[in-house]
Amino acid sequence: MISCLFPPNTREVQFDEKWSFVGKKENHCDPNDPDDDQQGDNWDHVAFDAEHRLVISVVPGKKTSENTKALVNDFKECTEGRIMDLMTTDEYPAYESEILEAYGETIVPPRTGKPGRPAKPYKAPPEDLLYATVHKVGEKGRVVKVEQRVIFGTMAALAIALAASLVSTVVNTAFIERHNGTDRNRNGRKVRKTYCFSKDWEVHNAVTYFTMYSYNFCWPVRTLRVKGPDDTWIQRTPAMAAGLTDHVWTLAEWLAYPSVQRR
């Protein structure tokens, strides 16, 4: 019997983008050629549950603020709007504005009674929103120092979140970066130097969804295994660890499961 619950028990999220290309490299694309609109750079915008190693949301396409917005909004919908204990990203600036837009509270300034236009409503982060970034300092092509920066929230709140975390002791994007390597191994189209790159944009995106989401249900992760009552190891997938299902699915089982459109 197939069992699948929703939403996942996500408490921490890491956002990142992973590069690949379709047809040809971006610097060979002609911006005036409509045929090149779906050629060149194709980025996987990914929301990753670090604790359960779960891919929650994927938006493939050009690296744009629109796709970043789509990722953050889809993640929020998947987790039913809950505020996470911790959100982390690199310093890609689009995340700050889109996280604030998605999770911020609308503040309407009171009327002053003075002449002139009233102040416009604006978004403010709620008190429990905690978002931090990783700042990497490089020298001669190598990372020599990593600094953490709190964008929304306080250093005190960050210290509490890290103390309570089961996986992180510092602000990082290490878990999603590790998954990027796993996905490149599972999807030969995304190996950095290969003749097997995608030739079709839609097919590339379809395979992206296939490898990303089948990983959740069909791929046991060694670091997620737990000891059973007879002291033997029980293998678990990210979906099992996140409370979405109770067993490792076969690909046939996963492919045959009815899909549900949330929109």
Task: Give the CA distances from residue 106 to residues 46, 81, 120, 161, 227, in Å, rounded to whole numbers and listed in that order.
Answer: 27, 15, 10, 25, 47
Peptide bond into 60 cis (omega under 30): no
Encoded tokens for 70: 């789509």
Residue 5: per-residue pLDDT: 57
Encoded tokens for 163: 């103390």
Per the CB < 8 A criterion, the answer to whether 87 and 103 are in contact is no
Q: How far apart are CA 192 and CA 78, in angstroms?
A: 30
Per the CB < 8 A criterion, the answer to whether 168 and 12 are in contact is yes
Stretch (H or E) spanning 156: helix 155-164
**Mean per-residue pLDDT pooled into runs of 10, the chain (263 residues):** 66 97 93 90 97 96 96 95 96 96 93 82 95 88 85 96 96 96 94 89 96 96 92 95 95 88 53
| Beta strand 122-124 pairing with 105-107 | antiparallel
Residue 6: per-residue pLDDT: 76
Residue 195: per-residue pLDDT: 85
* Angle between the N-to-C axes of helices 94-103 and 65-78, in degrees from 0 to 180, rounded to the nearest 10: 40
Query: pTM, whole model, 2 decimals?
Result: 0.91
- Cα 151 to its chain centre, rounded Å, is 18
| Beta strand 122-124 pairing with 54-61 | unpaired
Encoded tokens for 29: 């694309």
Q: How far apart are CA 69 and CA 71, in angstroms?
A: 5
- Amino acid identity, position 218: C
- Amino acid identity, position 32: N
